[in-house]
Amino acid sequence: MEIKEKIEDYNSSIDAADVSSEEALEAFRIQFLGSKNVLKDLYKELRNVPNEEKKDVGQAINALKKKAEEKFESAKKEKDNKAGTKKKFDLTRPAERVELGARHPLAVIRNEIIEIFSRIGFSVSEGPEIEDDWHNFSALNFPPEHPARDMQDTFFIEKNDHEMALRTHTSSVQVRVMESEDPPIRTISPGRVYRNEAISARAHCFFHQVEGLYIDKDVSFADLKQTLLYFAREMFGEKTEIRLRPSYFPFTEPSAEVDVSCSICQGEGCNVCKYTGWLEILGCGMVDPNVLEASGIDSKVYSGFAFGMGIERIAQLKYRVNDLRKYSENDIRFLKQFKSAY
Ligand code: DAH
């Protein structure tokens, strides 16, 4: 066979060669690029080609060699890529850990409080954080000269207008509920409140409260006490005792502050309860008849009790968090410690 025909032949066999499998590619390499490849024979034969044709034939063999190399390289690259992708998707590799978020501790406590009161028939009600003077103060029997109405304690929306303010307590929601619903009323109102305080470990310019309100015929102080005892035991454990101390709030008469027995030292005395065995958790009382009347409820027919507690305070006692600022710093190391059923 003439050398030119052989070149033609090899050219078409390079084109036609199957290099799809590992073995076929290796066979192709040995045939066209190996140490005893067929092109070497062609180069040998080149010697016998007449001089005037040598250049063309030589170039044709070079082209053949180049073609074989290119085909080999591209087939190999494709195979390596495929192998590479396979490695990237190693299905036996353990999955990366998915970090689950945790509820904010204050949300956990709020939900637990809601849950505890819902078991004895309390609904949840909410009111606005920007509140008018009537709902935050006047309807709650605050006299006009009461210090809470002062700039020092309250954030007003307008500097020289004391009509609208950020609510200073969730007691404002009591008024809204009594205005819009007829007794019997059993509701709790969780929410954020604001006070003009310097921020420290023990005080903050905003915090959270839960207000409770129970209005019906013949509601007595004994009902209040029993309700709070039930709450304290659900929240802090069945051995918990409560203690009521006389106090004063404009919107309740009589009023009391409630302590729970220290769940940390079981009343023995420790630095959390300052060696008293008791921890203050909330304010409460019988709703003042003036407050009932201001919201359109007949105080001769109905009576009721109310209470208000700070969610941060309950969380502090349950989780022993000693710095109020931690609740709003959003430090993930703090927040992720509170995995909970609520
Ligand atoms: N509003 C009170 C406060 O912010 C808490 C409070 C005390 C609410 C007595 C009540 C109550 O409903 O009866 O400190």
Say whether pLDDT at 219 is over 90: yes
What is the 305 CA–ligand 1 centroid distance (Å)?
11
Which helix (H) or strand (E) segment holds residue 150: the answer is: none
The model's pLDDT over 162-203, given as tens digits with 9 standing for 90+, comes to 899 999 999 999 999 999 999 999 999 999 999 999 999 889
What are the C-alpha distances in Å from 327 to residues 103, 111, 154, 203, 212? 12, 16, 21, 12, 23
Highest mean pLDDT among 8-12, 38-42, 123-127, 236-240: 123-127
User: What per-residue confidence (pLDDT) applies to 271?
Assistant: 82
User: What per-residue confidence (pLDDT) applies to 207?
Assistant: 96
Q: Is 306 in the pocket of ligand 1 (CB under 6 A)?
A: yes
* Portion of the chain with pLDDT greater than 70, in percent: 98
What is the 291 CA–ligand 1 centroid distance (Å)?
13
Site to probe by mutation for ligand 1, drawn from 142, 171, 193 as the one with most ligand atoms within 8 Å of Cβ, is 171
Say whether pLDDT at 47 is over 70: yes
Position 340 confidence tier, pLDDT thresholds 50, 70, 90 = confident
What is the 233 CA–ligand 1 centroid distance (Å)?
21
Pairing of strands 303-310, 206-216: antiparallel
Alpha carbon nearest to ligand 1 atom 7, residue:
283
Average pLDDT over residues 106-127: 97
Say whether pLDDT at 85 is over 70: no
pTM of the model: 0.73
User: What per-residue confidence (pLDDT) applies to 88?
Assistant: 67
User: What per-residue confidence (pLDDT) applies to 87?
Assistant: 63
User: What is the number of the ligand 1 atom nearest to the C-alpha of 287?
Assistant: 13
User: What is the number of the ligand 1 atom nearest to the C-alpha of 209?
Assistant: 4
Say whether pLDDT at 146 is over 80: yes
User: What per-residue confidence (pLDDT) applies to 300?
Assistant: 97
The model's pLDDT over 224-240, given as tens digits with 9 standing for 90+, comes to 999 999 999 999 999 99
User: What is the number of the ligand 1 atom nearest to the C-alpha of 170?
Assistant: 1
User: What per-residue confidence (pLDDT) applies to 26?
Assistant: 92
User: What per-residue confidence (pLDDT) applies to 246?
Assistant: 98
What is the 283 CA–ligand 1 centroid distance (Å)?
5
User: What is the number of the ligand 1 atom nearest to the C-alpha of 211?
Assistant: 12
User: What is the number of the ligand 1 atom nearest to the C-alpha of 168?
Assistant: 4
User: What per-residue confidence (pLDDT) applies to 291?
Assistant: 98
What are the C-alpha distances in Å from 312 to residues 129, 210, 259, 315? 18, 10, 15, 5
The model's pLDDT over 295-320, given as tens digits with 9 standing for 90+, comes to 999 999 999 999 999 999 999 889 98
Distance CA 37, CA 68 (A): 11
User: What per-residue confidence (pLDDT) applies to 11?
Assistant: 92
Say whether pLDDT at 330 is over 70: yes
Residues whose CB falls within 8 Å of the CB of residue 306, separated by 6 or more in sequence, listed in order: 171, 174, 211, 212, 213, 214, 251, 252, 284, 285, 287
CATH number for the region 105-338 comes to: 3.30.930.10
Average pLDDT over residues 65-71: 93
Amino acid occupying residue 226:
Q
What is the 41 CA–ligand 1 centroid distance (Å)?
104
Q: Is 283 in the pocket of ligand 1 (CB under 6 A)?
A: yes
User: What per-residue confidence (pLDDT) applies to 267?
Assistant: 79
CA 27: distance to chain centroid? 61
Average pLDDT over residues 261-284: 88
What mean pLDDT is reported for the chain?
A: 92
| Domain extents in the chain | 3-85, 105-338
Position 86 confidence tier, pLDDT thresholds 50, 70, 90 = low
User: What per-residue confidence (pLDDT) applies to 84?
Assistant: 65
Residue 128 burial by Cβ neighbours in a 10 Å radius (0-12, 13-18, 19+): middle
Average pLDDT over residues 144-165: 86
Say whether pLDDT at 89 is over 70: yes
